[in-house]
């Protein structure tokens, strides 16, 4: 965090970057048919953004406890309930490498814990992405075969990350 940046500044940077990266990734993968995964529903703001802007691709949500805004609550058959450490490996059996877009926003306020968790889930996420698919994350990820992509205009370096298979 730069000395002059307040927590409010950081939050705004994160939100603006999240939207810029999601809009970019949605457009870049628009020609793909595979499903979209939202890892971490939370209030449901980014889930709502995804379903508002994606046509013809199902959006599946991975969440351990659904507590979203009523307008942003996915249908039951699109929720994969449980801890992602268990549900992601099961999803590899169910979906294989077919996902066109994966968005992960699983972190909390502790940067160190977020980084440890990102290292843990990266190998669980990697086998789910289809060739040409994009992964958008609020945390730096640790993939073996995915390539880190430049951020689109409007996104702030370090606040959002995009990877491509
Ligand atoms: C920061 S919130 C997501 C906010 C969301 N992007 C939005 O726009 O409202 C993180 C969510 O990830 C979920 N989560 C964190 N760790 C998880 C885990 N190991 N398995 C499943 N869900 C998890 C939390 O329950 C929480 O709802």
Q: How many CB atoms lie within 10 A of CB 145?
A: 9
Q: For residue 59, how far is its CA from the centre of ligand 1 (angstroms)?
A: 16
| Residue of 70, 106, 139 to mutate, ligand 1, most atoms within 8 A of C-beta | 106
Residue closest by Cα to atom 13 of ligand 1: 40
Q: For residue 43, how far is its CA from the centre of ligand 1 (angstroms)?
A: 9
* CATH number given to 7-164: 3.40.50.150
Q: What residues line ligand 1, using a CB cutoff of 6 Å?
A: 40-46, 62-65, 83-85, 105-106
Q: What is the atom index within ligand 1 of the atom nearest the CA of 40?
A: 12
- The Cα 8–Cα 77 span in angstroms is 36
**Domain extents for the chain?**
7-164
Q: What is the atom index within ligand 1 of the atom nearest the CA of 46?
A: 8
- Residue 1, pLDDT above cutoff 70: no
Q: For residue 106, how far is its CA from the centre of ligand 1 (angstroms)?
A: 4
For residue 11, what pLDDT is reported?
93
Query: For the segment 125-163, what is each residue's pLDDT rounded down to a tens digit?
Result: 999 999 999 999 999 999 999 999 999 999 999 999 999
For residue 77, what pLDDT is reported?
97
User: pTM of the entire structure?
Assistant: 0.97
């Amino acid at each position: 965090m730069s000395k002059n940046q307040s927590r409010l500044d950081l939050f705004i940077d994160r939100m603006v970057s999240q939207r810029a990266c999601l809009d970019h990734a949605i457009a870049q993968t628009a020609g793909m048919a595979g499903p979209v995964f939202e890892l971490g529903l939370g209030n449901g703001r980014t889930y709502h953004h995804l379903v508002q802007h994606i046509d013809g691709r199902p959006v599946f949500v991975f969440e351990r406890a659904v507590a979203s805004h009523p307008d942003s609550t996915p249908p039951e058959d699109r929720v994969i309930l449980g801890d992602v450490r268990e549900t992601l490996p099961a999803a590899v059996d169910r979906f294989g490498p077919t996902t066109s877009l994966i968005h992960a926003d699983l972190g909390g306020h502790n940067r160190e814990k977020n980084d440890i968790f990102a290292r843990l889930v990266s190998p669980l996420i990697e086998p789910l992405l289809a060739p040409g698919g994009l992964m958008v994350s609020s945390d730096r990820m640790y993939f073996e075969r995915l390539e880190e992509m430049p951020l689109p205009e409007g996104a702030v370096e370090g606040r959002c990350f995009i990877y491509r298979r």
